[in-house]
Structure formats: C-alpha cells, structure tokens
Structure 1
Amino acid sequence: MNHSTIVTVVAALLLLSVPAGAAQSSLQIELGTGGDFERRMVTYDCAAEAPLVVTYLNAAPNFLALVPVAGEVEELVFAAVISASGVRYAAGQWIWWSQGVDASLYDATLGEDAEAVLTCTEINNTP
C-alpha cells in the first residue's frame, strides 16, 4: 500500500502523577491522519482575572481541545464526543462545550442539569 500519512505530534506535555522527589515524566502523542491538520489557539473572556486560552487540535478523525481548568495541575486533554449542537469535549469529570463564539465548562459530577461552572465568550481582536 502506498499511502501518504501525515503524522502530527501533539506538543502538549502531560506531567504524570509521581511521588514527591521522583523525576517528572512527559508524554507525547502521535496522531496519524489522512487529511489536513489544524491547530487553533482561541482566547476566551470568562469574566475571570485573566483570559482563558484553549488550543484546538483537529486531525480527522481526532478532534482535541487542551483546556486549562482551575484546580487542575496541568492543562487537560479533552476529546470530542457526540453533541446535538456545537462541539462537546470530555476529559474525566469535565465537559467543555463550544458553540460558535461561546464556550462553557461543566462538572459532570454535579449532575446532568447543573449550571456551567464557567461561561466564556471568544475574544476577537479583529479591527
């Protein structure tokens, strides 16, 4: 088979939980794709002290979002899951849901009908 495969390297370093005093480790993930790769960094206003920067990695069939979540040691890697509208990403107990220029963070442990713990709007610096 003579297939052209684009290999994308997710440059997100995930520090693994290790005992105190032990060396830190990193993880590199390679995603093979038969199509294009897109990396977008989107800055959101979430009514917090500082803007939230989310990195979206689109390499069909994999769609990921790197989201910094308050209280978590490192950015979390969210994977796209089925959604009725917008793009819904999941990582452990967290759901990141983007719809147009708006995005929200939900804590799934609070129940299906719980309010978002963070509501954001994309900052567009286009003049």
Structure 2
Amino acid sequence: MRHIHFALISLGCALLAGVSHAQEIQPRITLSLEVAGEATVNSITYQCGSKTLAVSYVNAGPNLLAILPVEEQSILFTSAIAASGARYTAGPYEWWTKGNEASLRNLMAEEDAKPLLECSVANQPQ
C-alpha cells in the first residue's frame, strides 16, 4: 500500500490585500491517502475570460480530487456523479469539466444563474 501526500495552503485575505502581517503563520493542512495502485497529480491551466486558473487533479485509487482557487483560497473538491464529463463539488461550489471546457458554479445561486467562471484549457498536462 502506497501513501500519497499533498498540502493545501490557504492564504489569508489580509495578506492578499497588502495588510502588513508578514509574521502571520499561514495555515497548512497535509492529507494522506492510502492507495493500492497508481496515484497521479496533474496540473492544468485554464483561461477563464481575462483570468488564468491553475487546477491540480489528484487521482488516487477511488479518490478523485480537484484543488482550485476560489475567492483567494485553495479549495479541495471531491468527485461527484456526472452524466458526462467530470464533476467535483466543495461546499456550495461545483467544478465541472467536459473536454477542454470547464465551469465553476455556486449551487446556492438561482437555478438559471450564470457560472462564476467559464473556462477553456490553456495548456495540456505533460
């Protein structure tokens, strides 16, 4: 049995806003998953209008995860059932990819609300 380790770092909004708290300790969480087979981490960059979004996909046995920045924080999404494409959810958010297209939605918004982001793949994993 192999273990895969990855870390999530959440940047505080105060630091991003330029508030001078350089001595603050950044929260860090390390997760370990036991995997019997292969485990991979792929990074894909998406172009979402004028914004670039870097997403990491963790494929570790039955655990399929996506890590992406939402509102200045790295959020861990877990796979969910999808009729087509790949669908991941975290709290009120849904990240859905199909082919080279992806969208981020707030599931708490009106049913016909536009996605928060509509994206296209800017690079392919190596």
Determine the structure 2 residue equivalent to 1:10: 6
Determine the structure 2 residue equivalent to 1:121: 120
Give the Cα–Cα distance (whole angstroms) in 2 for the partners of residues 87 and 8 of structure 1. 22
Question: Is the aligned partner of 1:86 residue 2:85?
Answer: yes
What is the CA distance between 1:25 and its match in structure 2?
A: 3.6
Instruction: Tell me the number of residue pairs that the alignment of Structure 1 and Structure 2 aligns.
Output: 115
Q: What amino acid is aligned across from residue 69 of structure 2 in structure 1?
A: P
CA contact (8 A) 1:95 1:108 kept: yes
Task: Using the aligned pairs only, state the percent identity.
Answer: 36
The answer to which structure, 1 or 2, has the higher relative contact order (CA under 8 A, 6+ apart) is: 2
Structure 1 unaligned segments of length 5 or more: list them.
none
What is the CA distance between 1:90 and its match in structure 2?
A: 0.4
CA contact (8 A) 2:48 2:119 kept: yes
Determine the structure 1 residue equivalent to 2:15: none
Give the Cα–Cα distance (whole angstroms) in 2 for the partners of residues 22 and 52 of structure 1. 26
What is the CA distance between 1:11 and its match in structure 2?
A: 2.4
Structure number having the greater strand percentage: 2
What is the CA distance between 1:104 and its match in structure 2?
A: 0.3
CA contact (8 A) 2:9 2:26 kept: no
What is the CA distance between 1:12 and its match in structure 2?
A: 2.1
CA contact (8 A) 2:3 2:34 kept: yes
Distance change (3 Å), C-alpha of 1:34 and 1:125: closer
Distance change (3 Å), C-alpha of 1:31 and 1:123: same
* 1:1-127 alignment runs, 5 A limit: 5-14=1-10, 24-48=26-50, 50-69=51-70, 72-124=71-123
Please give the root-mean-square deviation of Cα atoms over the aligned residues, in Å: 2.3
- After TM superposition, the score normalised by the length of structure 2 is 0.80
Query: Which moved further from structure 2: 106-115 or 76-85?
Result: 106-115
Distance change (3 Å), C-alpha of 1:34 and 1:118: same
What do the CA deviations read for 1:23-65 (whole angstroms, capped 9, x no partner)? 55421100111111111110111012x4111011110110110
Give the Cα–Cα distance (whole angstroms) in 1 for the partners of residues 25 and 121 of structure 2. 37
- After TM superposition, the score normalised by the length of structure 1 is 0.80
Structure 2 unaligned segments of length 5 or more: list them.
13-22
